[in-house]
Structures are given as structure tokens and as C-alpha cells.
Amino acid sequence: MGYFGWAPYVPVAQRRMKAQQVAAKATKAGSILSPIASFRGAIAKTFWGKAWCDNLEAYSDYANRIPRGRTYVRNGSVIDLKVSEGVIQAQVMGSDLYTVNVHVTQVPPNQWSAIGKDCSGSIDSLVELLQGKLSSAVMQRICAPKTGLFPSPKEISFSCSCPDSASMCKHIAAVLYGVGTRLDQQPELLFKLRCVNAKDLVHQAGAGLPSSSTGVVPGKVLDDAVLSDVFGIEMDNDATLQKPVAKKKTASAKKVVTEKTPAAPKGVKKSTVVKATTKTPSASAPTAKAIKAKTVKTKKDHG
């Protein structure tokens, strides 16, 4: 026992060793832990993780006390952290192993509806929402103090099994920072914690978007010829193949009709004209004028 009844200080290296021992024992017993791995640098790196931490630090109730947990969360003292609907359950290794419970109230239905209405037409997909790829206006609305998605101090209650009588001990602070770190990998946990569905927000926010056209958008459909060129396949579609064949036959029929044998000139035998028009003209072949003159002469001879 340390001074004034406080537990003696335990160096970081010793805490890590104890944490590893506890984790190994829990795993052997069949328990599944979800630790916050040790790291250096910023507590959170993505929009959702940063927004969570910024929200906590923005309130004077937490501003002076939550920094106590930064060292603990960075050095891997949070050996287990699980987020469920309205509840955060964690285990933190300090002088001993302590249990932390944090309760967060649900987003009021009217507040949740107002967020969706204010974000109308500004969120295209769930992926875009969870990736934090939002306009500055949407980000500000979601992060708005007391009326946004993140909880205010009055919406958070917590407890720790450690002997520290402070309303927020370093173990609780480490867990709250741990949530920010966890949101970097699993932003959907924030919606789960606040008992709301991210898909509902996308649906409400998407209500203001123009409805998609049911027709085919020009330039978005590849014909069979292009598909064959791109993918190296032959498109075998009977309906497609029959149509051009029918057109070809029709065109051929028309050609036959237009190529009728011309009418024989007056006084010229039909067989003579056909013979002259079907054969390929040559330099030695008699012209139509010569044939006509010969025919007239023959008539006179028989006259």
C-alpha cells in the first residue's frame, strides 16, 4: 500500500507484463478480449475518431480530467473494450486490473430525425457516411454540441472499480479515449452506441436527392460488337442474328425487281435486245445504233 492509502505506482513495463498475463489467462479460460493495442502519436486519425475525442475535450466537465487517460490508452493498458447498444464495457490494467462501465443514452428520436432532415440531399451512401467523406456542413451538423450525434456529459455516466474517488479517474478517461481509437477502425460502433441505425440516416438524408431515371442512360450500355472486342467473346443471340438476315433478303429481292430486262425498241426483236444488254460490251461488239440500222435495212429488203 502506498502513501495516503493509494496503491503504489506501477511502471509501464510492469503494467504491460501484467496485462499480457491477464490476457493469456482469460484466453485460456475461453474469454475473448478486444484490447486497444499500444501505439504512439495521435489518439485518433480518422474523422469519426477525432470527432469523438474533440467532442469530449470540448466540454469543461472533461477538459481538465480526460487527458489523464492518454498515457494509459497509448501504452496498451486497456486490455479489453467492447461497445454495445448504450454501453461500453472495459478492463484497464493499473496497479491492479480494474473494470470500467460507461453508459450512453440513446439519441432522442426527434433529434435523430432533425439530423437526417438537416443533412437531406448531402449523403449519397452508407460507405460515404462511414468513411467520413462528407461536406463540411454535414460534418458540422453531426458534430454539433448537444444536438448532434456525439453525446454530451449529461448523456454519459460511468463507474470504475478502482479506489480513486474522482468522478473521472484515469482508467475511465483511458476507456473514453479508447473508444475514439476504436472508431478509427469501426465507425459504425458510434451509431450502435447511440442506439440508431446509420442506414436510417442515409435514407433520411437521401430523401432530398433527385430520383434516379429508370431509363437507359446513353453511353452506359455496350452493344454486342463492343462486348466482343473488349472481352474476346462471340455474342450468340438468335433474335439479334435473325433480324439483319431478314433485312438482307428484302434488300436482295428489291434489287432483283429493279434489274428487269428493258423493253425492246420498236421494231427490234426482244431476244436481240436481251442478248445485247446482258453480255459485257467489247470493242468489237456492234452498237445498238448499228443493230437498229441493220434491222431497218432487213425490213426494206423484205418489203
Q: What is the mean pLDDT of residues 253-263?
A: 48
Q: What is the dihedral of CA 55, 141, 197, 70, to 10 degrees?
A: -10
CA–CA separation, 78 vs 100, rounded Å?
Answer: 10
Closest CA to 84 of 174, 154, 182, 189: 189
CA–CA separation, 266 vs 168, rounded Å?
Answer: 121
Geometric angle at alpha carbon 42, from 36 and 48, rounded to 5°:
75
Q: Are 268 and 291 in contact, with CB atoms under 8 Å apart?
A: yes
Q: Are 82 and 88 in contact, with CB atoms under 8 Å apart?
A: yes
Q: What is the pLDDT of residue 206?
A: 53
**So where are the chain's domains?**
3-208, 262-297
Q: Are 285 and 279 in contact, with CB atoms under 8 Å apart?
A: yes
- 246 has a pLDDT exceeding 90: no
The 10 Å Cβ neighbour count of residue 12 is 14
Residue 99 DSSP one-character state: E
Backbone angles phi, psi at 119, to 5 degrees: -95, 10
CA–CA separation, 83 vs 171, rounded Å?
Answer: 16
Closest CA to 134 of 202, 43, 184: 202
Q: How confident is the model at residue 296 (pLDDT cuts 50, 70, 90)?
A: low
- 110 has a pLDDT exceeding 80: yes
Residue 103 DSSP one-character state: E
Q: How confident is the model at residue 107 (pLDDT cuts 50, 70, 90)?
A: very high
262 Ramachandran zone, left/alpha/beta (phi>0; psi -120 to 50): beta
158-172 tens-digit pLDDT? 999 999 888 899 999
Cell 459485257 belongs to which residue? 280
Q: Are 132 and 185 in contact, with CB atoms under 8 Å apart?
A: no
Q: Are 102 and 156 in contact, with CB atoms under 8 Å apart?
A: yes
- 3 has a pLDDT exceeding 90: no
Q: Are 204 and 120 in contact, with CB atoms under 8 Å apart?
A: yes
In this structure, of 40-44, 72-76, 191-195, 226-230, the range with the lowest mean pLDDT score is 226-230
Q: Are 171 and 69 in contact, with CB atoms under 8 Å apart?
A: yes
